[in-house]
């Protein structure tokens, strides 16, 4: 993979999740007993959005001999951190705990995953940062976990999924946003769902490919929910990052929502400026997947212009998910200034806790150094 | 948007085909001549039975004037869209409408839970379109409304109307009980192909039984309005990935009032994911975008309005100037006026296509 500068920041990296037995040191007595006695420690806790064997879950050349996506610490270093000469990468834990119906069990697993993350990855690799896994099913328990984890400033955001039981702007979720704002944590909304309701307004799709395609619609609705409910008026310092959302759908969202808001703004009087202005101030998007034709880079460049701001995109590999081939982690044709913003400036502006990082050198990247 | 912006006598130089006009009956009694006593009694006693917690109203109350143009209420009472003379004066004549496509949303039977009642309602609404609208006004054309959740009855209704040129398309709701690509709907597509009528998918206020987003029910009408756009995207993906467009190569589909600017990004996304996941859907022989390019048309209202109007030109270029058909949504509040609708510059040729020629070709109108 190639990026033109050293010191870029990867805002979406997926370490392999630990098995339940690997979480044993981080569980209290009660849950350790429960998990052993009920054989819960033999369950995979894999989200149905990302089964290990599905093509999207692991790029073919990033899989191990057994077929599992290679995402232990060595693989993260070998495939991402070192070759890209990154200053930092944010680990987003995709764990099935968030789809459980038992809020307490979910919260126990989330806490264990966060502690595992701190001990097994963050302690051992100073370039890594992480998102806090929370049981969004219960905002109360999610807030408790945020309060517990927030003192460790290597956790830079709170992770939620794009499809849940109720739209994320609903007031029931607001305590999570209050806690995030208080602790200078971004809210990261990652692709995937708990499938509490059908993924489309006309019911259940047949194929996984449809579910993946439907993620962009899920992000559109979540974005509108956050804006319409006034989340950004209530929490003016909140930053929301849509992760693995795609972004080429954004211009249409801005155009349509601005127009409709002009017609019906009396319904949501707290939305006191155009939705586009609100989004450009508060919301960011990770780069991968780039849903645009690779063979016609001009279309992507036009779409970036339609977005109306070069501050919206944050570099991501989405490793080990299969979003691009070879070293084409950056789409072709981006101007140098835009690349620099995506790779470094925008992530630092977005994540308050990344401002602790030493200033990026911005010197030539490893690939360029080796070539010269 | 919701005010009379000019005198109704102002002229529209270019004749237009309006692909989305909503006729409404003044009272349900207008349907009585077209229903048996059994179903008239049923309608009077039990009413329609939808998948919502409120009856007799939409679950998301509209904004001003129940979502209608305030100037579209007939002076002698009755709802907007119920008075043919007013429609002529205010819309068909004033806006130079050469042909108008009726999209009858009310009591169509599409969303009725009682399948037999749904079939009776569909048939009645089709007769009503014919007798009360098309026969009185030669510029108007009807759509065959079908009880889509009961495909056998839907096919019967299609076959009953197929010989009548007043019916130019078949209307089903994209807000269905299952995604429209599912096999339960295939007999409808086979019938559409047999009788050479396109399918018209118009956004709908009544659900097929599912929340309007993949994360449950939103709170406000502004979100319900947007869900028509995401829902249409999901519907298109279903039709593509289930192989409907592979299986029915002559099927033509128009997506009405769901927006269109999202199409390029959606086809890019479908193509990209299909490349990696294609082993899951071996029944697809081509890229998703190729099926879309061949089979899918869009109406323009409610047109997306970029901050820089010229950006819309990029989108239309990527979709194809031959795939958009003008619509107003008369008499609804978010009506698009043919004089105002395009803020971007169009050539005379582009205008002729979008306002008139694409629809004439699509519907086979002279």
Q: Which residues of A touch B259 (CB under 8 A)?
A: 252, 256
Write the pLDDT tens digit of every residue in A44-89.
Answer: 999 999 999 999 999 999 999 999 999 999 999 999 999 999 999 9
The pair of three-digit structure tokens given for residue A61, joined into one six-digit string:
């050349």
- Inter-residue contact A92 to A12 (CB < 8 Å): yes
CB contact under 8 A, B307 and A224: no
C-alpha–C-alpha distance, residues B187 and B342, integer Å: 38
C-alpha–C-alpha distance, residues A357 and A371, integer Å: 28
The predicted structure's pLDDT at residue B66? 86
Q: Which residues of B touch A217 (CB under 8 A)?
A: 213-214, 230-231, 233-234
Q: How far is CA B48 from the centre of its chain?
A: 21
- Does the beta carbon of A320 lie under 8 angstroms from any beta carbon of chain B? no
Residue with tokens 């993949």: B214
Domain residue extents for chain A? 9-371
Chain A: give the shortest CA distance to residue B96, in Å: 26
Distances (CA, A) of B200 to B115, B197, B246: 21, 9, 18
SS3 A83: coil
For the CA atoms of B168, B170, B173, B179, what is the dihedral angle to 10 degrees? -130
Render each residue's pLDDT in chain A as its tens digit; 372 residues.
Answer: 689 989 999 999 999 999 999 999 999 999 999 999 999 999 999 999 999 999 999 999 999 999 999 999 999 999 999 999 999 999 999 999 999 999 999 999 999 999 999 999 999 999 999 999 999 999 999 999 999 999 999 999 999 999 999 999 999 999 999 999 999 999 999 999 999 999 999 999 999 999 999 999 999 999 999 999 999 999 999 999 999 999 999 999 999 999 999 999 999 999 999 999 999 999 999 999 999 999 999 999 999 999 999 999 999 999 999 999 999 999 999 999 999 999 999 999 999 999 878 775 555 555 555 544
Interior angle at CA B297, CA B292 and CA B301, nearest 5: 130
Q: Which residues of B touch A268 (CB under 8 A)?
A: 220, 222
Count Cβ–Cβ pairs < 8 Å, chain A vs chain B: 252
CB contact under 8 A, B274 and A276: no
The pair of three-digit structure tokens given for residue B291, joined into one six-digit string:
């099926």
φ and ψ of A182, to 5 deg = -60, -40
- Does the beta carbon of A291 lie under 8 angstroms from any beta carbon of chain B? yes
B 133-172 residues inside an 8 A Cβ radius of A: none
The predicted structure's pLDDT at residue B65? 86
| Phi-psi map region of B158: left, alpha, beta (phi>0 left; psi -120 to 50 alpha) | alpha
- Does the beta carbon of B241 lie under 8 angstroms from any beta carbon of chain A? yes
CB contact under 8 A, B226 and A168: no
The predicted structure's pLDDT at residue A12? 98
- Inter-residue contact A161 to A186 (CB < 8 Å): no
Mutation to test the A interface, candidates B149, B222, B337, most A Cβ within 10 Å: B222
Contacts of A74 (CB under 8 A, 6+ apart): none
- Does the beta carbon of B344 lie under 8 angstroms from any beta carbon of chain A? no
- Inter-residue contact B282 to A239 (CB < 8 Å): no
**Alpha helices per DSSP H over A38-170:** 73-76, 103-116, 139-149
The pair of three-digit structure tokens given for residue B51, joined into one six-digit string:
């998948």
Distances (CA, A) of B54 to A9, B51, B64, B206: 50, 9, 20, 11
Tell me the β-bridge partners of A126: none
Chain B: give the shortest CA distance to residue A136, in Å: 13
Contacts of A137 (CB under 8 A, 6+ apart): A98, A100, A101, A103, A106, A165
**Alpha helices per DSSP H over A53-135:** 73-76, 103-116
**Alpha helices per DSSP H over A193-265:** 208-228, 231-234, 250-264
Mutation to test the B interface, candidates A61, A166, A217, A305, most B Cβ within 10 Å: A217
A 24-63 residues inside an 8 A Cβ radius of B: 54-56
C-alpha–C-alpha distance, residues A259 and A255, integer Å: 6
- Does the beta carbon of B333 lie under 8 angstroms from any beta carbon of chain A? yes
C-alpha–C-alpha distance, residues A145 and B205, integer Å: 40
**Is residue B256 reached through a cis peptide bond, with omega within 30 degrees of 0 on the bond before it?**
no
Domain A9-371, CATH number (from 3.10.20.600, 3.40.190.10, 2.40.50.100, 3.20.20.140): 3.20.20.140
Question: Which residues of chain B register pLDDT less than 50?
Answer: 1-3, 5-11
Instruction: Say which of A218, A222, A255 has its CB closest to residue B305.
Output: A255
Write the pLDDT tens digit of every residue in A34-47.
Answer: 999 999 999 999 99
- Identify each DSSP E strand in chain B by its residue range: 16-21, 97-102, 140-145, 167-172, 199-202, 253-256, 296-299, 324-325
Tell me the β-bridge partners of A142: none
Q: Which residues of A touch B306 (CB under 8 A)?
A: 251, 255, 306
Q: pTM to 2 decimals? A: 0.95
Interior angle at CA A117, CA A95 and CA A32, nearest 5: 70
- Does the beta carbon of B186 lie under 8 angstroms from any beta carbon of chain A? no
Tell me the β-bridge partners of B298: B255, B324
C-alpha–C-alpha distance, residues A22 and A42, integer Å: 11
SS3 A164: coil
The pair of three-digit structure tokens given for residue A257, joined into one six-digit string:
């929502």
Distances (CA, A) of B25 to A307, B57, B223: 43, 16, 28
C-alpha–C-alpha distance, residues A188 and A186, integer Å: 6
The pair of three-digit structure tokens given for residue B273, joined into one six-digit string:
């994911």
- Inter-residue contact A282 to A232 (CB < 8 Å): yes
Mutation to test the A interface, candidates B68, B204, B269, most A Cβ within 10 Å: B269
A 162-181 residues inside an 8 A Cβ radius of B: 162-170
C-alpha–C-alpha distance, residues A63 and A91, integer Å: 18
B 275-314 residues inside an 8 A Cβ radius of A: 276-277, 279-281, 302, 304-308, 311, 314
What is the Cα Rg of chain B in Å?
A: 20
Distances (CA, A) of A200 to A173, A218, A364, B59, B278: 22, 9, 45, 18, 21
Q: Which of A109, A157, A117 is nearest to A137 (CA)?
A: A109
Instruction: Say which of B211, B242, B318 has its CB closest to residue A197.
Output: B211
Kindly provide the ipTM of the predicted complex, given to two decimals: 0.95
- The DSSP code for B210 is S
The pair of three-digit structure tokens given for residue B224, joined into one six-digit string:
């319900």
The predicted structure's pLDDT at residue B333? 87
- Does the beta carbon of A338 lie under 8 angstroms from any beta carbon of chain B? no
CATH number 3.20.20.140 is the correct assignment for the domain at B16-363: yes
The predicted structure's pLDDT at residue B269? 98
Give, to the nearest 10 degrees, the angle between helix B151-161 and helix B186-195: 10
The predicted structure's pLDDT at residue B10? 44
The pair of three-digit structure tokens given for residue A24, joined into one six-digit string:
């044993």
């Amino acid at each position: 993979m190639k990026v033109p500068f050293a010191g870029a920041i990867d805002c979406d990296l997926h370490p392999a999740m630990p098995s339940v037995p690997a979480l044993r040191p981080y569980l209290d007595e009660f849950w350790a007993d429960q998990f052993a006695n009920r054989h819960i420690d033999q369950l995979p806790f894999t989200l149905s959005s990302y089964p290990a064997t599905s093509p999207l879950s692991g790029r073919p050349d990033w899989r191990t001999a057994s077929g599992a996506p290679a995402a232990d610490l060595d693989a993260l270093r070998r495939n991402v951190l070192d070759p890209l000469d990154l200053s930092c990468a944010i680990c987003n834990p995709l764990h099935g705990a968030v789809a459980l119906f038992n809020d307490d069990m979910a919260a126990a697993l989330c806490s264990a995953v966060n502690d595992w993350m701190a001990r097994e990855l963050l302690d051992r690799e100073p370039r890594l940062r992480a998102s806090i896994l929370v049981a969004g099913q219960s905002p109360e328990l999610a807030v408790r976990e945020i309060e517990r984890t927030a003192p460790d400033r290597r956790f830079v955001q709170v992770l939620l999924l794009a499809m849940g039981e109720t739209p994320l702007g609903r007031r029931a979720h607001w305590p999570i946003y209050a806690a995030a704002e208080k602790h200078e944590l971004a809210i990261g909304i990652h692709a995937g769902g708990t499938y509490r309701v059908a993924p489309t307004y006309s019911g259940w799709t047949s194929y996984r490919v449809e579910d993946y395609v439907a993620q962009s619609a899920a992000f559109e609705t979540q974005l509108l929910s956050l804006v319409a409910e006034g989340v950004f008026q209530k929490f003016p310092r909140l930053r929301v990052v849509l992760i693995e959302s795609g972004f080429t759908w954004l211009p249409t969202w801005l155009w349509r929502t601005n127009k409709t808001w002009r017609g019906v703004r009396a319904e949501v009087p707290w939305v006191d400026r155009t939705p586009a202005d609100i989004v450009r101030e508060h919301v960011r998007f990770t780069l991968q997947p780039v849903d645009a034709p690779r063979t016609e880079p001009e279309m992507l460049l036009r779409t970036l212009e339609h977005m109306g701001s070069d501050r919206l995109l944050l570099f991501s590999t989405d490793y080990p998910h299969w979003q691009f081939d070879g070293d084409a982690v950056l789409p072709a044709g981006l101007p140098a200034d835009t690349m620099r913003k995506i790779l470094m400036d925008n992530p630092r502006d977005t994540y308050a806790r990344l401002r602790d990082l030493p200033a990026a050198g911005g010197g030539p990247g490893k690939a360029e150094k080796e070539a010269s | 948007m919701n005010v009379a912006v000019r005198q109704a006598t102002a002229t529209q130089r270019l004749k237009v085909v309006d692909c989305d006009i909503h006729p409404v009956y003044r009272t349900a009694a207008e349907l009585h001549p077209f229903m048996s006593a059994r179903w008239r009694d049923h309608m009077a006693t039990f009413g329609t039975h939808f998948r919502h917690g409120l009856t007799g109203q939409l679950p998301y109350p509209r904004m001003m004037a129940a979502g209608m143009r305030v100037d579209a209420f007939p002076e002698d009472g009755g709802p907007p869209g119920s008075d043919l003379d007013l429609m002529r004066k205010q819309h068909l004549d004033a806006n130079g409408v050469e042909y108008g496509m009726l999209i009858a949303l009310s009591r169509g039977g599409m969303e009725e839970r009682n399948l037999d009642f749904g079939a009776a309602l569909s048939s009645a609404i089709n007769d009503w379109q014919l007798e009360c609208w098309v026969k009185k006004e030669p510029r108007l054309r009807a759509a065959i409304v079908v009880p889509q959740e009961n495909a056998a009855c839907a096919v019967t209704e299609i076959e009953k109307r197929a010989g009548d040129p007043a019916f130019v398309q078949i209307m089903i709701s994209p807000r269905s009980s299952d995604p429209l690509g599912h096999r339960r709907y295939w007999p409808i597509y086979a019938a559409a192909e047999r009788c050479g009528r396109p399918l018209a998918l118009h956004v709908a206020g009544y659900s097929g039984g599912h929340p309007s987003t993949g994360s449950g029910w939103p709170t406000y009408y502004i979100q319900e309005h947007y869900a028509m756009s995401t829902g249409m995207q999901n519907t298109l993906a279903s039709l593509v990935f289930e192989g409907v467009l592979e299986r029915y190569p002559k099927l033509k589909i128009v997506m009405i009032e769901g927006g269109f600017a999202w199409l390029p990004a959606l086809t890019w996304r479908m193509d990209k994911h299909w490349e990696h996941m294609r082993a899951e859907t071996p029944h697809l022989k081509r890229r998703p975008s190729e099926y879309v390019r061949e089979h899918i048309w869009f109406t323009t209202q409610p047109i997306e309005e970029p901050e820089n109007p010229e950006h819309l030109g990029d989108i239309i270029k990527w979709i194809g100037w031959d795939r958009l058909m003008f619509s107003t949504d008369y008499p609804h509040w978010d009506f698009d006026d043919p004089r105002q609708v395009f803020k971007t510059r169009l050539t005379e040729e582009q205008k002729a296509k979008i306002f008139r020629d694409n629809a004439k070709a699509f519907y086979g109108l002279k």
